[in-house]
Amino acid sequence: MTRKSHQSRVPRASREHPPAHPRRPSAEQAAGLEIYDTTLRDGAQAEDVSFSADDKVLIAQKLDELGVHFIEGGWPGANPKDIEFFRMIKTIPLKHANVIAFGSTRKASNTVRKDPNLQALLAAETTTITLFGKTWSLHVTDALGISLAKNLELIGDSVAYLRSKGRRVFYDAEHFFDGYKTNPDYALATIHKAVEAGAERVILCDTNGGTMPWEIREICSVIQRECAVPLGIHAHNDCEMAVANSLVAIESGILQVQGTINGIGERCGNANLCSIIPNLELKMKRRALSDRLSHLKDVSGYVTEIANLMPNKHQPYVGDSAFAHKGGVHIHAVLKNPATYEHVDPARVGNRQRMLISDYGGRSGLLDKIDAFGIKLTKGHAKVNELIHALKDRESQGYQFEGAEGSFELLMRKVMGSHKPSFQLLGFRVIVEKKQEDGPPLSEATVMVKVGEAVEHTAAVGAGPVNALDHALRKALEKFYPQLQEVKLLDYKVRVLAANKGTESKVRVLIESGDHKDKWGTVGVSENIMEATWQALADSIEYKLLATD
């Protein structure tokens, strides 16, 4: 029971009886997998993420709409915010998901009835509780400082006590794979103790994220023969294997998969449900959600927004670039048959195909974009050549139209001769003044524009020079175009080009703007950051007015 080995390979016990084939799913598994989301607990432990109780309620509702089966709401014994969440979520009707409280086995110095953590779990009033305990003997002796036998007692007492109070219990075997590779007999003893005490699921956790897929396959196959209840997998991404490990575990017959939206989580993150779920449904033909896969991109973006994180546009399936095509050969082929460079229909996960505008795109991509704007041109039309030359000239100066399709449409219409400017710049001035060393600087912008025959001269202050210029421009134009009151600046990015020139380097400013129904990107390039900003701001206004003509 106390045999120890510090080998990193899979122990002998897991290799003596390898399965001839992956285990066939049970009748319960064949009916569908269990998707267990831990974004609100494990995901909230990610650096730069801090959910309020209100945030967690909003995300829980989105996850319920997606159709996940279990939502781990938090650890009520760890912080007041999670206690508040469990109080609030009881008043929210959910259609699909069960909310779960998470916590640890009792402390060695406490009885179950006097253990604050167990009492907080019961006070959360969830029908199911996920309880984690120590599986790795290293953690028992070095982290908890107790005997291996005492740890088994903590597991059995805690699970049995929660069961006696009418709760379902899922048991998270923390550090299971590291524990099994070090001391397989003891790791098995911990899960046997949890099952004997009444746990309905045992979740095998790769808590350090260091296990390889072939190890996961072998160990899961062994544990399924040893465990009397269905198993789950909880993988971390420290070796970029969390998704692969989760899928291999499911292929081996595991019923429940745990993860987070967008893979957020402590250190390198958790298994990414936004990759696992479509891989299960579209690649492995395993039912994971009830016909709600097309909501996946929407939920991914919603969690990113609530978490105040920058979206990962290159994320598989749900990223903005997942089905974006830039190379001319790619675009030409995709326009004939999307299957040439797309492994699935993007609409299946709520995404869409995009053709990126650049000097790599070629005529096919350009014609497709032109057609999308309602302009019909043949491949040999002179205006197509003119537009290609204009595009390449702009990109050689540092312009980038991949994230600035508003500026591209304006450029295209200028080349076609169909653009009529909504206003003309007569001049602008931006002043930044700091009067006291410990005081905030003052930013003021003055703008003079001409609309038709009318000249408007306005000034405005702002939180910074960009904000001041934006305010002054809007102030000058809103009397002529009241619809500009709908426009908000959503994002502002500055990229230094040719940094070898130091502070004389060109900069590229990318602005994302939006209104109540749409959003668009615009771009400006100059050695002067305010000039580049003006270009992007002016294009943003022009694009809005173009769309409302």
Q: CATH number for the domain including 103? A: 3.20.20.70
Same domain? 185 vs 294: yes
Q: What is the pTM of this model?
A: 0.71
482 inside domain: no
Under the banding of pLDDT at 50, 70 and 90, the label for residue 383 is confident
Nearest of 260, 278, 277 to residue 269 by alpha carbon:
260
- For 15, phi then psi, to 5°, come to -105, -10
Under the banding of pLDDT at 50, 70 and 90, the label for residue 363 is low
Same domain? 329 vs 302: no
DSSP 3-state assignment of 507? strand
Write down the residue that tokens 């990962």 correspond to: 312
Q: Above 60 in pLDDT, residue 526?
A: yes
109 inside domain: yes
Same domain? 384 vs 450: no
Under the banding of pLDDT at 50, 70 and 90, the label for residue 456 is very high
As a whole number of Å, the CA-based R_g of the chain is 29
What number of residues does the chain have? 549
Separation CA 251–CA 235 (nearest Å): 15
For the segment 225-270, what is each residue's pLDDT rounded down to a tens digit? 999 999 999 999 999 999 999 999 999 999 999 999 999 999 999 9
Mean pLDDT of 105-133: 96
Same domain? 385 vs 454: no
Same domain? 225 vs 372: no
Write down the residue that tokens 């929660």 correspond to: 162
Domain holding 251, by residue range, is 29-306
Tokens in use for 287? 């039912």
Query: What pLDDT does residue 358 have?
Result: 55
Nearest of 459, 425, 414, 452 to residue 533 by alpha carbon:
425
Separation CA 183–CA 5 (nearest Å): 6
417 inside domain: no
Concatenated DSSP letters of 271-336:
-BHHHHHHIIIIIS----SSS-GGGHHHHHHHHHHHTT----TT-TTTSTTTTEE-SHHHHHHHHH
Same domain? 329 vs 283: no
Give how far Cα 431 sits from Cα of 132, 460, 461, 532, Å: 59, 11, 9, 16
Same domain? 141 vs 237: yes
For the segment 469-503, what is each residue's pLDDT rounded down to a tens digit? 999 999 999 999 999 999 988 888 888 886 666 77
For the segment 35-85, what is each residue's pLDDT rounded down to a tens digit? 999 999 999 999 999 999 999 999 999 999 999 999 999 999 788 899 999
Query: What pLDDT does residue 549 have?
Result: 61
Same domain? 167 vs 63: yes
Separation CA 12–CA 15 (nearest Å): 5
185 inside domain: yes
284 inside domain: yes
41 inside domain: yes
Residues 6+ apart with CB under 8 A from 127: 98, 167, 168
Instruction: Check the CA dihedral 516-517-518-519 and report its sign.
Output: positive
Same domain? 205 vs 335: no
20 inside domain: no
For the segment 8-39, what is each residue's pLDDT rounded down to a tens digit? 444 444 333 333 333 343 444 444 799 999 99
Nearest of 321, 224, 217, 210 to residue 268 by alpha carbon:
210
Edge-to-edge order in the sheet of strand 442-451: 424-433, 442-451, 454-462
Query: What pLDDT does residue 285 have?
Result: 94
Give how far Cα 374 sits from Cα of 343, 411, 413, 543, Å: 29, 15, 11, 16
Number of domains in the chain: 3
